[in-house]
């Protein structure tokens, strides 16, 4: 099944994307409302939460270019040293821009 990418077709495509995305924003919360939150489930979702971040970042670091890796390393070092996110992110951007300029 295909949709013509023109006029009303594009509106239909956008509507489908909106509905699917809305389903993901609501689905996890709806599902949890049927689960009894035991300490074990609470532990699962807490560990899962920070693991979401790691699961986004690690492939980004491994398959990205040298600039991407430099950005993440610089962010990690500054964050662990200063414990402030904005300087850490700024250091990451400077590192990425610098490495990409030099290479």
Partner 1 sequence: MTNTTYSYQLQPAKIRYEFFRLLPISLFVVAFGMAFGLAAVQKGLEPMQAVLMSTTVFAGASQFATLDMWGSQVAVLPLIAVVFAINSRHLLMGASLYPMLKDVAPAKRYAMLLLLTDANWAVSAQEYQNGRRNLEVIIGGGFVLWLAWIVGTLLGVYFSRLLQDPQSLGLDMVLGCFLLAMALGGNKSPRVLVAWLVAGLSSLAAYYWLPPHTHVVVGALAGGVVGYFWLEAKPQ
Among positions 28-47, residues that touch partner 1 (CB under 8 A) are 28-29, 31-33, 37, 39-47
By CB under 8 A, what part of segment 47-86 binds partner 1?
47-60, 62-63, 67-68, 71-72, 75-76, 79-80, 83, 85-86
By CB under 8 A, name the one of 24, 36, 102, 103 that touches partner 1: 24
Angle (CA) 26-31-39 rounded to 5° is 120
| Beta-carbon contacts of residue 61 (< 8 Å; ≥ 6 apart) | 68, 69, 72
By CB under 8 A, name the one of 2, 36, 102, 103 that touches partner 1: 2
């Amino acid at each position: 099944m295909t949709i013509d990418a023109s006029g009303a077709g594009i509106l239909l495509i956008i509507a489908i994307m909106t509905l699917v995305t809305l389903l993901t924003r609501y689905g996890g919360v709806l599902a949890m409302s049927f689960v009894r939150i035991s300490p074990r489930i609470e532990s699962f979702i807490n560990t899962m939460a920070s693991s979401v971040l790691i699961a986004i970042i690690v492939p980004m670091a491994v398959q990205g270019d040298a600039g991407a890796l430099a950005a993440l390393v610089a962010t990690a070092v500054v964050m662990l040293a200063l414990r402030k996110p904005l300087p850490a992110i700024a250091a990451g951007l400077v590192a990425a821009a610098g490495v990409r300029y030099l290479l």
